[in-house]
Amino acid sequence: MTPSNGMNFRTTTDREGLRRMTVQDIRDTFVIGDLFRPGVVSMTYVEVDRAVVGSAVPLDAPLPLPTDHRLAAGYFCERREVGVVNIGAPGWIDLDGVRHDLDRHDSLYIGRGVEAVVFGGGAPDAPAKFYFVSYPAHAAHPSKRVRKDEARVIEAGDQKTANRRVIRQSIRPGLVDTCQLVMGFTELAPGNVWNTMPPHTHGRRSEIYMYFDAAPARVMHIMGAPDAPRTVFMDDGEAVFSPSWSMHSGVGTANYRFVWSMGGENLDFDDMDTLSLAQLR
């Protein structure tokens, strides 16, 4: 039986509701902080685009990906696709008897219809740490592993504005066929702390950030409407989701990495509505 505390469910709020929230309300609504527990599969269902955000940290025994009765599915990927990034030691994921080895920072796309997903590898003193995001899928596309050096690389930002960074797009059109999932991770160069500034929104998609390789630094995540921004401090290994109307940006006390994932109406990475600094209040 899979070690798990069951799947958590999160509802969200609108612009006015966010304005009235306390910092604890924001954390309780938008921040997912129970990821990467040793020997456990953790899952949280987010009502925004019906995403599932989760992690698996296998130790002495492999961990199968469970379903939940509230998904009304015989198995997790019956009507879903999944994107995985390994942020820990090398490990493997078995898909219906086919093993895929994942080194640190490798990605794996799991297509709709895969019945048995099993996470394994690593060791108690150096575990694999699998982070995954899932969205509903209308079609079955082939599962595919993408090595870190196979991802599309975009260099962005400037040292002068402390946001020089490398964006690695691993699950995206041209590399992997998906229904709505786009996924990858961003690395900030040493001495750089800002991500996605000026910020933007995605009117046709939602986005989820998961900050890692940050400790002992912390990241102040900025979200909400541009005329009423709200902030919350994020720790290493925590995720935060943004509705399509909410901007998403962050600044750390040192450099860090974060996995970003999107789902919604289209697959165009550059489909965003950029905000100007003058719009922020």
d(CA 57, CA 63): 8
Would you kindly state where each structural domain of the chain is located, as residue ranges? 7-279
Annotate 186-202 with three-state secondary structure.
EEECCCCCEECCCCEEC
State which H helix or E strand residue 17 sits in. Answer: helix 15-19
Look up residue 175 and give its two tokens: 């590399």
Cis peptide leading into residue 124 (ω within 30°): no
Fold of 7-279: Jelly Rolls (2.60.120)
**Partners of 206 in beta bridges:** 263
Cα 8 to chain centroid, rounded: 16
pLDDT at position 275 is 67
Q: What is the pLDDT along the chain (281 residues), one digit of tens a residue?
A: 345 557 999 988 888 888 898 999 999 999 999 999 999 999 999 988 899 999 999 998 999 999 998 899 999 999 999 999 999 999 999 999 999 999 999 999 999 999 999 999 978 889 999 999 999 999 999 999 999 999 999 999 999 999 999 999 999 999 999 999 999 999 999 999 998 877 777 777 789 999 999 989 899 999 888 888 889 999 999 999 988 888 889 999 999 999 999 998 777 767 677 766 667 67
For 279, phi then psi, to 5°, come to -80, -20
CB 237 within 8 Å of CB 88: no
CB 206 within 8 Å of CB 136: no
d(CA 53, CA 7): 10
Q: Which residue has the tokens 């996924």?
A: 183
How far apart are the two ends of the chain, measured CA to CA in Å? 50
User: What is each CA distance from 53 to 159, 193, 226, 251, in whole angstroms?
Assistant: 32, 25, 26, 23
Pick the closest to residue 144 from 171, 98, 109 (CA basis).
Answer: 109
Look up residue 118 and give its two tokens: 């099993």
**Bridge-based pairing state of the strands 31-32 and 239-242:** antiparallel
Q: What is the CA radius of gyration of the chain?
A: 18
pLDDT of 166-220, one tens digit each? 999 999 999 999 999 999 999 999 999 998 877 777 777 789 999 999 989 899 9
pLDDT at position 4 is 56
d(CA 175, CA 14): 35
Cis peptide leading into residue 198 (ω within 30°): yes
